[in-house]
Amino acid sequence: MLVPGKIILDHAFHNHYAVGAFNANNMEQVQAIIDAAAETQSPVFIQVSRGALQYSRLIYLRNIIQAAAEEHPEIPMAMHLDHGNSLAVVKTAIGLGFTSVMIDGSLDESGKKALSFTDNLAITQAVLDYARPRGVSVEAELGTIGGVEDGAGVKRILVTDPAQAEQFVQQAPIDSLAIAIGTSHGAYKFKEKCELQHSVLQDIHRRLPTTPLVMHGSSSVPAELVAIVNRYGGQMPDTKGVDIEQLQSTIQQGVSKINVDTDGRIAMTGAIRQFFAEHPDKFDPREYLGPARAALKAMVAARLIAFGAAGNASKIK
């Protein structure tokens, strides 16, 4: 069933687990995510970026996600706009029936330049004023996460300032805050092992003890999934992600939503490459998208279990 994101986030926050948030661009991805959530009995966020909305031509992907909610009414699910970059984009998503939106006021609309604290606060407040009367949950971002997603992003990570985070939420009472403590978008996140800034996270949680926090750029880029891609003709050298153990350690410090996108892309790409290597005579999309869907489902289920979300679906009323 489709529910406001706040309902899921509040349950995760108060019960010390994190809901997995997974990006989707097509039917197979939506099916994999909801099937994994149903198998593990987990609440879930299905996220759609503005690039995905453009790719699917808006209403198609919306309808697929709504069909998933109807197929599994026992699973609390938020249909979430990921990295909305303007009030216009947010209005479009809400008009389509999204139950949760993110306004990424950390960057300007081009996605290439950091916005000031004041400008971020202003656009976030405008989104709150529009979304709240319509029962839609709002996520904002403070600080900048490295890497690139949908063509937007900055190379330098700007770690969230805890004092600014406290001021931001006091002035714009959002439902969740995405913070930057060392994660990064993409498959080539780091030159060395990721070391999250736990002291910053702890300070933010101390200052905002009732605000669910969100981790973007949290794919683990598992070596075994990358190995499948490379074994069957891919070229993905020197990939590095965020260890599952590090992600798990943030949950007790207020992180209630963990975003995973790159891992899903790698899982599906590896399955498709393997299929064509083993069946060069095949050409039916159903035959290679089926294994891709299964690979994504397995990855999503593993993350839902690791984040502690498994078994919580029936507990959310």
Rounded Cα distance, 39 and 29, in Å: 15
Neighbours of 61 (CB within 10 A): 23
Give the residue numbers marked as catalytic.
Answer: 82
Burial class of residue 16, CB neighbours in 10 A (0-12, 13-18, 19+): exposed
Exposure string for 137-170, b = 16+ CB within 10 A, e = fewer? bbbbbbbbbbbebbebbbeebeebbbebbbebbe
Residue of 109, 64, 60 lying closest to 83 (CA atoms): 109
Give, in degrees to the nearest 5, the angle at Cα 56 between 52 and 59: 110
| Residue 215 bridge partners (DSSP) | 179, 258
